[in-house]
A and B are shown apart, each in its own frame.
Chain A
Amino acid sequence: MKRVLHRTLAVAAALVASAALAACGASASSSGSSGSGPSTLKVWIMGSSGQNFTKLTASFTKSTGIGVDVQAIPWADVDTKLTTAVASGNGPDVMQVGLSELPTFEKSGALMDLSSYLAGHPALDSSNFLDALSTDKLNPPGKVLSIPWISDVRVLFYRTDIFQQAGIQGPPTTWAQLHADAVKLAARGSGKYGYYIPQWDAPLPIEFTWQAGGSVMDPSGKVNFDTPAFRQAVDFYASFYRDKLVPTAADFDQTAGFISGSAPMLISGPYLATSLTGIQGKWAAAPLPTDSTDTSLSAGSTLGVWHTSTKVAAALKLFDFLAQPSTQVAWYKLDGDLPSNKTALSDPSLTSDPTFQIYARQLQNSQLLPLVPTWDTIQTDMLTAVNKIVLTGANETSILNQLDQTVATLQK
């Protein structure tokens, strides 16, 4: 009798243990299903704009009855999130895609081809959007995998008060002036810099290359850094480090440095402006300084539909709503993201702001980063190479030759 009891207990214990095990496996998948009714779209919004997006779409839900269940994905987690979604087949209905991620998303097959659904939505026509971000430019020929949503552009931010104290008249308009102004500003004393170069900002050397009149794409559509313009860009980039005009600390905080005045001049996107309310009236934006051009970087995000979503019609309605000039203007006021719609960009309520004028003007004068699938790896290698030169004093020629080889191998 005692033995039977012993055995029963053992079996029971084993069962409890396996049940607990099964439960721990199941808990991971149960969280995704909340709030997805029959007419609710599951939407992934990148960055910290999730709450604002819910606010923006409240009127859409009211008028169409289509719910919007927003999940905010931090930018740093985008890749992991995409990977797991592709691998498991469990994606949202709609997702925001950053332009730098777009080639990866397109290649992954995660986005549905919307070309056959666009007929009833004139608002989504390619011609409504900024030329640089038009639907035609962002999509492979014959397909519409995503629709433009917001745009983004880099401009020069500078501290008007500090410029005045240093006796500098207005923002620099040429490379030479930018460097000369940085020298004056850095002379303010220790811990004060003339300019700031974010060590994580891979597009910056590319912008300099464009400004030097070059391109990083060769005619055959391959990335190529073996050009005089890129070498010129690297020299310009390095000149700030050589003359000790920029902080060398990797953890230097751009926003804190600009607000404290430690780094009173830098190139950034409109998102910086949203953190500058504390120094209102002490800063301004300006077009990028020119070498042979003043080309800036334009970026932005698009919206796509997950390839297995069954709610394509509802998603397209949402896209239509989001592409309306009034929605785009509301979103700029709510979240600070620039519109991609041309009409919204010339909306009087926005263009009355001089800073917005700068953004809009610079947008006309900007380029996208190359949309090639290996771009992420290539730009990281490029940035590492450039930073090696400026931070460790490594030999420029040998580092750049090595970079050229790596880039060639990556595109074989």
Chain B
Amino acid sequence: MTLTVKPPLVRSEGRPWPRTPRRRRGARATPYLFVAPAFACLLAFGIIPIAIAAVVSFTDLNVGGLGNLGAVHFVGLRNYQALFGSSDFWSALGNTALFVVMGVPVIVVVSLAIAIGLNQSQSRLFRALRTFYFLPAVTAVVAIALIWGYLYNSQFGLFNSLLQAVGLPQQQWLSDPWLAKVSVVLVAIWRATGLSIIILLAAQQDIPAEYYEAAALDGAGRWRQTVSITVPLLRFALFFVTVTTLIAWMQFFDEPYVLTQGGPLGATTSISLYIYQQGFQYNAFGFASAASVVLFVLIFAVTAVQLRARRWGR
């Protein structure tokens, strides 16, 4: 596995980019041409759908309305009223918050620890380990769900067999409301750390070796070097990992969808899963759009706060 993923990590901050001399007008179009495909994608798959969802959220669109737009009516804020009055919505929102609180810090800390560990050596073993840690990130989620479903299964699952073998009581991994939350989060953590590890590993390899040499001359040990050099210089990468992980976890969907379908009794229904159920199982597209607009606003707000916090942190 090659490590080419390198976000602009330790750009010497504060120094302005070198100023380019004035070019002819044509040349100035070049950057726009490069950005155009990405922007077209963003427009087609990001901005336009969000705008449509915002409009739909004020209507009673359902499957009947899809085929016959004449049957669609504007209902004002009724979807939002119903949404905020729905206990299922609040429960899904609460679950999502809980998933974020359980998952994101663990992912950041664990992937940082593993990335630092993996960076200690370039030997064949460590290179193999990198692939090993990255494997869950590139495995199809359905395969993961199937395997973990079997591991967790209360009738013939491996975990319960192991517990039984050592004489401990068997657990209902996916049926107990609290344990089920932990179970899906565990799978999600296992699946999500791979990418974060690779990013943090790549960032570490950008840290100049001179810093460590200088620190070693000053008598700093491994721990001191990690705390005072590696972690601070990984600031940007850590920020990147935190933001992307947080956004991903606010949209938490795959694991509960395939492992528990949001059960037992909605205990693992995240806000995204709730939107999916309302939209695609009950065909209440207007209502589901209202929920997705709320989720969008939440994610936008959280990300904005983080970006601000980073600016203040400098």
Could you tell me which A residues sit within 8 Å of B by CB distance?
3, 6-7, 10-11, 13-14, 17-18, 20-21, 25, 79-80, 82-83, 86-87, 89, 104, 107-110, 199, 247-253, 256-257, 260, 262, 307, 376-377, 380, 384, 387-388, 391-392
On whether the beta carbons of B27 and A7 are closer than 8 Å, the reply is yes
On whether the beta carbons of B152 and A251 are closer than 8 Å, the reply is yes
Contacts known (A7-B26, A376-B281, A377-B282); A108 close to B66, Cβ less than 8 A: yes
A257-B153 Cα distance, complex, nearest whole Å: 12
In the assembled complex, B312 has its CB within 8 A of some CB on chain A? no
User: Which residues of chain B come closer than 8 Å to A83, judged between CB atoms?
Assistant: 63, 66, 280, 283
**15 pairs, CB–CB < 8 Å, chain A vs chain B:** A13-B33, A13-B34, A14-B36, A20-B37, A80-B280, A89-B67, A107-B62, A108-B67, A199-B264, A252-B154, A307-B67, A384-B266, A387-B265, A388-B265, A392-B177
User: Which residues of chain B come closer than 8 Å to A6, judged between CB atoms?
Assistant: 27, 30
User: Which residues of chain B come closer than 8 Å to A380, judged between CB atoms?
Assistant: 282
Q: B32 — nearest CB in chain A belongs to which residue? A: A14
User: Which residues of chain A come closer than 8 Å to B154, judged between CB atoms?
Assistant: 247, 249, 251-252
Closest 9 CB pairs of A and B: A249-B154, A14-B33, A17-B37, A108-B63, A250-B175, A109-B67, A249-B175, A10-B30, A86-B66
Q: A13 — nearest CB in chain B belongs to which residue? A: B34
- Interface size of B in residues (CB-CB distance below 8 Å): 37
Q: B285 — nearest CB in chain A belongs to which residue? A: A83
Q: B150 — nearest CB in chain A belongs to which residue? A: A251
- Shortest Cβ distance from B260 into chain A, in angstroms? 7
From B37, B66, B266, B283, A79 is in contact (CB under 8 Å) with: B283
User: Which residues of chain B come closer than 8 Å to A21, judged between CB atoms?
Assistant: 37, 40-41
A207-B77 Cα distance, complex, nearest whole Å: 39
On whether the beta carbons of B172 and A249 are closer than 8 Å, the reply is yes
- Shortest Cβ distance from B86 into chain A, in angstroms? 10
- Shortest Cβ distance from A396 into chain B, in angstroms? 15
User: Which residues of chain A come closer than 8 Å to B40, judged between CB atoms?
Assistant: 18, 21
In the assembled complex, B156 has its CB within 8 A of some CB on chain A? yes
* Given A387-B264, A391-B264: 17 more A-B contacts, CB < 8 Å: A6-B27, A7-B30, A14-B37, A83-B283, A86-B63, A104-B63, A107-B63, A199-B264, A249-B155, A252-B154, A253-B153, A253-B155, A256-B155, A307-B67, A377-B284, A384-B265, A388-B265
User: Which residues of chain B come closer than 8 Å to A86, judged between CB atoms?
Assistant: 63, 66-67
A20-B177 Cα distance, complex, nearest whole Å: 46
In the assembled complex, B123 has its CB within 8 A of some CB on chain A? no
User: Which residues of chain B come closer than 8 Å to A25, judged between CB atoms?
Assistant: 44
- Shortest Cβ distance from B166 into chain A, in angstroms? 17
